[in-house]
Chains A and B, each alone.
Chain A
């Protein structure tokens, strides 16, 4: 085969890929899910709010006024500047500044970045853990299933926030003091993730037990496909619908849990504030009249969680065949 022929062939595959993507897009735009999305005004608003908040936090380094984590930018003389529309407000600090002279607008951008990162990462963690355990429990059955589900039963009877608090507290006790600041973010992801895997595992186990007895799985078994391959390539794609819904709702819960833990002072270190940490800092200054340090991060957090919750609600209805 000559080089030219190979290029042509390569180009063919490329074209094929593009038209396939277009097909998928068309099918999606024609489908029920997209239709129900366009029919719900509140969902569109929620999606826009989510996109703006996520986009703003991703672009934080470019659209913020200064980097609030860099002490060079901070001047204590600027601390407690009120928002720009009040009497002493300055354009350098559109939403005011906090006790260390950090611009609140920039800090909120970076704070939501951290909150969203921890939220997404912990959901990814609890989803992979829960889906794997659910698949294993549902497919293998027997004592493995009984063991996993017993653990899940015990765990679900305790609230997630307590489990996260406990894991967090243990990690604090086990880790040497100096390394706290760097690893706390990952400890939080682990703690929040571990407190949420049960919902995924239960749902996936249920649908796996249904799928396991279907003909396509039996066919795969007959031709000698390994158990791992059946679980991952055949069953998993068929049980992921509800998982998507749970993941969306879990994201809201995870963001709230992170905020709660940081608010309680056992989350991320104050040098690298998340939205919860900012609210914690602001609470100390509530009585002296500096309300903006609490209100703006609080409103951002509430808007984010509300938008994600609304998206989750809509997704649950849109993917539920009973309601169509």
Chain B
């Protein structure tokens, strides 16, 4: 187990270094950092002085090492467009994205898993067929279109819910939360539904197909033959064994939620890191782009690590296999 964690952590560090190298290359070679930071009337001497003070004259490996050190300490440089430290902008915007993603993920899981179980247990009932049709539409409708349709109905026609922003936020230490105010919760509903919808259909279809497969296995037949109640068989035996792949995929999907948050945030003008990234691409604000890249990569690497470990905790077969094969 410890060997596994160490091996996986080592891989994660390699991935992070590759991403850091990519971010560094972007920062260093896409456009000239100095001319991005100074105005047009800066003299050549001043530019040269700035180049030296920024360390752009040092050997490239030294620059990269410094970049990694700074990044590891949360120093991402200064945004070209806003003229403020990227770390400061990030810390303002991360709470918005995390709250949105968390609610979306919970919504997808709490609704998706029961729907999947129901459709697997009663494949012929009309409600199952309705769920499956909805899921097909959910996969084919682009996220942004769902968002726009919601805005059209609940925002424009019915005027029930706010269509943009986070509403009122309350500061808890350095963390701004929308959970504590009425308008904050109301603003969260539509974006979270939009973001969670695609994951919901994915989880539902996954649970359904896994569960149907498990229900055909011999041990389920045996459990029924033993006279166990339907509830014990379906939930105690079948669902438990279904959850292993569901955990993996759902875990990996949390990363996807953060990625798709860029689109949802853009539809609802949600002030999170995704919207910041989109704006940075439009304005070619490299420090923000590379900071977002590093941050998202870190998030993904951590999630992958947790999912891998969780996988081994949940499935005892892997534990035996792992220690046997790798000593």
Interface set of A (CB-CB < 8 Å, partner B) = 154, 157-159, 161-162, 165-166, 168-170, 172-174, 252, 256, 259-260, 263-266, 279, 282-283, 286-287, 289, 291, 294, 298, 301-302, 305-306, 309-310
Contacts and interface: CB of A to CB of B under 8 A. Distances in A.
Given A298-B149, A309-B139, 15 more contacts: A154-B15, A157-B15, A157-B252, A158-B259, A158-B297, A161-B259, A162-B296, A172-B281, A173-B31, A173-B284, A259-B144, A260-B263, A264-B263, A265-B282, A286-B152
A170 B297 CA distance: 17
A305 B140 contact: yes
Contact of B255 (A157, A252, A259, A283): A157
B156 A286 contact: yes
A158 B259 CA distance: 9
A283 B256 CA distance: 24
B152 A306 contact: no
A154 B18 contact: yes
Contact of B140 (A159, A173, A174, A302): A302
Contacts of B260: 159, 161
Interface string B251-291: 01001100110110011000000000110111010100100
14 contacts: A158-B255, A161-B263, A169-B280, A169-B281, A170-B26, A173-B26, A173-B30, A173-B31, A259-B142, A263-B263, A265-B278, A266-B282, A279-B148, A286-B151
B257 to A, nearest CB: 9
B148 A298 contact: yes
B300 interface: yes
B137 interface: yes
Contact of B145 (A168, A287, A302): A302
B242 interface: no
Interface of B is mostly: helix
Given A264-B263, A305-B142, A306-B136, A294 B152 contact: yes
A264 B259 contact: no
* Most chain A CB within a 10 A radius of its CB, from B26, B148, B259, B293: B148
B135 to A, nearest CB: 11
A165 B281 contact: yes
A46 to B, nearest CB: 11
A304 B239 CA distance: 35
B54 interface: no
A162 B261 CA distance: 10
B101 interface: no
Nearest to B279: A265
A286 B148 contact: yes
B266 A264 contact: yes
Interface in B95-153: 136-137, 139-145, 148-149, 151-152
Contact of A165 (B31, B137, B262): B262
A166 B262 CA distance: 12
Q: Which 4 A-B pairs have the closest CB atoms?
A: A306-B140, A169-B281, A159-B259, A173-B30
Contacts of A162: 259, 262, 296
B71 interface: no
A24 to B, nearest CB: 33
Contacts of B149: 298
Contacts of B293: 166
Contacts of B281: 165, 168-169, 172, 266
Contact of B148 (A166, A252, A294): A294
A170 B30 contact: yes
B171 to A, nearest CB: 30
B267 A283 contact: yes
A152 to B, nearest CB: 13
A260 B143 contact: yes
Contact of A301 (B18, B142, B304): B142
A216 B82 CA distance: 64
A306 B142 contact: no
A264 B278 contact: yes
Contact of A266 (B31, B267, B278): B278
A165 B26 contact: no
Contacts of A306: 136-137, 140
Contacts of B263: 161, 260, 263-264
A232 to B, nearest CB: 31
Contacts of B144: 259-260, 263, 279
A32 B226 CA distance: 41
A172 B142 CA distance: 24
Contacts of A174: 30
